[in-house]
Structure 1
Amino acid sequence: MRRPARDGLRTGSTSVRASDGHDIAHLTDFVTTRRGVEGFVEPRTAVSDVTLLLVAHDGEWTRRRVPSVQWAHTFANKHQVPSYDAAVVGIPQRMRDFNRRKKAGGI
């Protein structure tokens, strides 16, 4: 039987860092300094814990680990940010457009 990694969870042979206060502070800063933010809750995978993807009106985005799916939706509700299950609705087109502009040097 495998034991949890010291700094997070162990999934197979991969250690996953748990969320911490820095992640939560970053998410809070993002939602309070951008407009039109929506949250996309991404489920745990073999290589990543639950994450909250925040996408602003212009497609700027950030992603951080969070304690649970429920925590992510509660966080979004507290900050009046709509939240969705990313596995159901996918990732918004404006985020892909933002990444394309950034890669092309337009941002």
Structure 2
Amino acid sequence: MTELMPRDNLMAAPEVMRKRESEKLKVQELERELADVQREEHELGMKLHRAYKRLDRHAEYEPTSLWVRRATGYLFYSGLLGLLACLLLAYFGPLLFTHPSPG
């Protein structure tokens, strides 16, 4: 059945092959350029990170990293305490807030 199908000679044309090769070269060049830009972006990010650390180290106030650790720790534990309080109220709430009947 495949022998009866027309053959595609378009793929074998030399101009198509040249065009493909030139496109491959363009893609490789763009990938190299992208890698250079990403490397530069990483280097600038590291410089910025080091500068912020240097500012924190020489600051007269509490370092930002310590404040962030304290704040996130506080939020984590306060969230757990809030959840525990809700569970306790749901379980013991009816016992705590019912009034004994006079008798």
TM-score interval for Structure 1 and Structure 2 normalised by the shorter chain: under 0.3
Flag the structure with higher strand content: 1
Q: TM-score, normalised by structure 2?
A: 0.20
Flag the structure with higher helix content: 2
Q: Which has the higher contact order (CA 8 A, sep 6+)?
A: 1
Q: TM-score, normalised by structure 1?
A: 0.20
Point out the structure with max Rg over C-alpha: 2
